[in-house]
Structure 1
């Protein structure tokens, strides 16, 4: 990989581990129905990273792929269910890492809330980040 800081990540059971090279910028907190359901939380923290900055360091064969919408696959551990990353056909040079899978000390720049038009009624956004009813370009 290149010159940035490298962060370790992995699933809850440890069957899948990876490294991603930062900086981790332009992180978006996605409140869409799919991200909420896939993560069991109010939103998913996603960072789009160049594919060459992502390296799988351990794979015990538990990774599963689910096509949640045409051309978009969510990759997760089939043993513990941890979401790992997303792979989007129309953006082949990047993947979207789920920041919750990274080590606690990982530094990331959160820039916006997206798909707030479909956020859960119980979810309150109380920060000064940009909010977009749908996705942001």
Structure 2
């Protein structure tokens, strides 16, 4: 039996690091105002994993978090401020694609897009299916 693939990533300063054990089941993008404000981008691209498949490995330990809704907290590095993802109550950890060491563009192509309406009208959303 093949061993599951482990993906690594972290924040800008390197204090917060993670290992995410695949497979990656739900890559998706979102343009809601909360994702826009959290990421500083018009769209955030996420991969969601069960919390037991994400391990925080850096010298900074677990990321800081901000309770952003009734069911989720946004995760970030307290030292450099990098957005890392969201820690949901499910327990699910959603990691931002940009926080991975390698972009994995082909593997993590979003299969869905949430909240298309808040995006600028000039931005055409294209989802690879």
Could you say which residue in structure 2 is the equivalent of 1:77?
Answer: 77
Could you say which residue in structure 1 is the equivalent of 2:39?
Answer: 39
Bigger mean CA deviation after superposition, 96-105 or 114-123 = 114-123
TM-score (norm 1): 0.80
User: Following the alignment from structure 1 to structure 2, what is the Cα–Cα distance between the partners of residues 40 and 113?
Assistant: 17
Q: Would you say the 8 A contact 1:26–1:109 is kept in 2?
A: no
Find the residue that maps to 1:108 and give its secondary structure: coil
Find the residue that maps to 2:58 and give its secondary structure: strand
Report how far residue 40 of structure 1 moved: 0.8
Runs of 4 or more above 6 Å deviation: none
Could you say which residue in structure 2 is the equivalent of 1:57?
Answer: 57
Q: Would you say the 8 A contact 2:110–2:127 is kept in 1?
A: no
User: Cα gap change, 1:53/1:128 in structure 2, threshold over 3 Å: closer, same or farther?
Assistant: closer
Report how far residue 22 of structure 1 moved: 1.4
Find the residue that maps to 1:24 and give its secondary structure: coil
Could you say which residue in structure 2 is the equivalent of 1:102?
Answer: 100
Could you say which residue in structure 1 is the equivalent of 2:117?
Answer: 117
Q: Would you say the 8 A contact 1:24–1:109 is kept in 2?
A: no
User: Cα gap change, 1:35/1:60 in structure 2, threshold over 3 Å: closer, same or farther?
Assistant: same
Report how far residue 120 of structure 1 moved: 3.3
Structure 1 unaligned regions, length at least 5: 131-137
Could you say which residue in structure 2 is the equivalent of 1:135?
Answer: none
User: Cα gap change, 1:105/1:31 in structure 2, threshold over 3 Å: closer, same or farther?
Assistant: closer
How many residues are paired up?
126
TM-score (norm 2): 0.85
